[in-house]
Amino acid sequence: MLSPELSLLAFQRRVLALAEDATTPLLERLRFLGIVTSNIDELYMVRMAELRRAAADDSRDGTTHEAHGLTTRARLIAVTREIAEILAAQSRCAAQCLRDAERVGVHVVTWNMLTDGEREALRTRYLDEIQPDLMPLAITLSPGHPLPHLPHLGLFVAVVFRGAAGGRTHLAEHELPRDVPRMLAVPGRGNDVIAIEEVLRANAHLLYPNALVDGTYLFRVTRGGDLLLQDDDQNNLLGAVESAAERRLHNPAVRVEVERSMPANISALILNSLRREAIGREMESTVDDVQVIDGLLDLRCLSALPLPRTAALEFPLLVPRSPLAPDVSIFDAIRAGDVLVHHPFESFDDTVVRFLRDAAADPDVTTIKITLYRVGDPSPVVEALLAAARSGKKVFALVELQARFDEAHNVHWARALERAGGRVVYGLVGLKVHAKVALIIRREGARLARYVHVGTGNYNTRSGRQYTDLSLFTARDAITTDVADLFNELTGSSRPPRSLAHGALVAPHQLLPELLARIEREAHHARDGRASGIAIKLNGLADSEVVRALYAASKAGVRIDLVVRGICTLRPGVQNLSATIRVVSVVGRFLEHSRIYRFENDGDPEYFIGSSDLRPRNLRRRVELLVPVCDEANRARLDLLLFRYLNDATAWELTSTGQYERRDGHALGAQLQAAANI
């Protein structure tokens, strides 16, 4: 199998390729550069500390070969090398993008490129708006000086100074203010800008008027993203998560980026300070070296360059279609037949948000039940739930408090829903509820009718515009019964659901064995000469048990087509192992996020959509939901989507060597076909 970390980094290579592609509009190239920065930040926050600890244990305990043929130590070395190569390529790409920005009148200048008058104007702004907020914190072992806390993802300038010529050297750090733009307009220069660190660097002597400044050096600190709960009592989970999210700001550092000009002795002092900080908090330090960066640190700042918003510099505006007639009741439309929606090409607001808003306003709706994972802030979805609760409807929300990096938002919304009169469940201890599902109960004559929404993406309007996802709206009895049973388990007990009885599949107990059984069924059909085949589109494939099952099916002769956006540890195209498997990755304007499962089943195919990828966390440590797609027209749409993605002329194909090769076709890709409604 392939290394999971190296596979994740291969995905960053594919995103970076979009930034490197001169045919990508410049503003979008800068956005993709920022996405790579954020993704590598998250890789460090989530995976690198664990990988370093495992490598240290590997060194102590002897060589341990893993499924992908590497020792943990060798995997760490390979990952570190690959990250360095990606960062170098990213810096080169950023430099090229800045040269391209100059062609449209935007220059990022340095202090020595300014006139005396421009320097004076910027110095005045520095003294008025920046320096008053700077607080020097000494990096020292001197008594009375506590170790400075370097906030997560903050940018800092290390200033080296002496009290007098030949005097003792001191080191202090200053965090760049977060409420001042990273790129400052140069007065009188049109769209020319200068990085704030350049201005601080040139005026550092004003911070120390009675000292000599020997040097100034920019650096950035990334801290671990673990959420360490001290109280896992379900009754106190809300407060426990809120406190843990605050404590995470003080997690040990996992990375220190420095600009190339920083001397080794200065970077060593910073590392030593971070180690002592971790020891002082009785935590393990997992950072032992600095990461040297050429050019700007934190390339997300380039998205704020004052480039003209012209058609040549950004993707054309996508106007999503409205698949539901505005003058027809959404409940009438769903009752007439299942509705399958492809976001963002079909409007999230006009379907998902409308579903909940109309339910909140409908006097015949009695109850709304929903799972909330990442809803954003502001959140039209939660606003609809609040309106429903205030109007006296029964609102049940399972708010997953432990959605990584969204804990504060979710705590806020949980409390707001409780204040409005809703009933809130905070998730299950030891599991995350990742399913995306809503159930609406409506009185229609003498009966209570049920309507369900199941999505592959979050109840988040921002994601609904930027991610490709699928939504299924249905009043079909089998699905609504399964969803009602799921909510009864989630809200009525503290245990994860065991299974659903009418066709839907739920993790962590039912989904994995049912998927494995379907894979084996396809292998059995292939061995018997009957129609077989598996086609799956998802975000990640890294579960070793699933990979082994797919290998076995391939050896039995099953054709397996996989569209995997990111991590994939399966190695396709290997004789006598995976010869009938192909893996395609589509990376484009929108983040591919939809999940589709199709099993040929001897000519009677089964289709599912839902929240789950094929990773250990999805199958074993989360509540996930897949629901069957039964309507023939919707199945035909899924077949068309799978065909388009598998044959996307712009896609990347994973080879048996573990490398991705980009197709060189010039036809419209799957996303552009969907946008054009072809």
CA dihedral 296, 28, 347, 637 (to 10 degrees): -120
Q: Is the pLDDT of residue 200 over 50?
A: yes
Selected residue with higher pLDDT from 382 and 250:
382
pTM to 2 decimal places: 0.93
Nearest Cα to Cα of residue 617 among 237, 47, 42: 47
Confidence band (pLDDT; 50, 70, 90) for 141? very low
Confidence band (pLDDT; 50, 70, 90) for 242? low
Selected residue with higher pLDDT from 205 and 58:
205
Selected residue with higher pLDDT from 348 and 286:
348
DSSP string, 566-577: S-B----S-TTT
Per-residue pLDDT, 582: 98
Rounded (to 5) percent helix, strand, coil in the chain: 40, 20, 40
Tell me the C-alpha distance between 666 and 678, whole Å: 16
Confidence band (pLDDT; 50, 70, 90) for 135? confident
Confidence band (pLDDT; 50, 70, 90) for 658? very high
Q: Is the pLDDT of residue 243 over 70?
A: no
| From 132-136, 220-224, 460-464, 650-654, the region with the lowest mean pLDDT | 132-136
Per-residue pLDDT, 83: 97
| From 80-84, 400-404, 456-460, the region with the lowest mean pLDDT | 400-404
Q: Which fold has domain 330-492?
A: Endonuclease; Chain A (3.30.870)
Span 107-227+253-313: which CATH code?
3.30.1840.10
Instruction: Name which CATH class applies to 1-103.
Output: mainly alpha
Q: Is the pLDDT of residue 558 over 70?
A: yes
Per-residue pLDDT, 234: 46
Q: Which fold has domain 505-675?
A: Endonuclease; Chain A (3.30.870)
Confidence band (pLDDT; 50, 70, 90) for 227? low
Selected residue with higher pLDDT from 64 and 489:
489
Long-range contacts of 73-77 (CB under 8 A, 24+ apart): 75/3, 75/5, 75/6, 75/51, 76/51, 76/52
Percent of the chain residues past pLDDT 90, beyond the cut: 73
Q: Is the pLDDT of residue 280 over 90?
A: no
Residue extent(s) of CATH 1.20.58.310 domains in the chain: 1-103
| From 248-252, 505-509, 570-574, 666-670, the region with the lowest mean pLDDT | 248-252
Which amino acids are annotated catalytic? 434
Whether residue 316 is preceded by a cis peptide bond, meaning omega within 30 degrees of 0, is no
Residue extent(s) of CATH 3.30.870.10 domains in the chain: 330-492, 505-675
Per-residue pLDDT, 671: 96
Percent of the chain residues past pLDDT 70, beyond the cut: 93
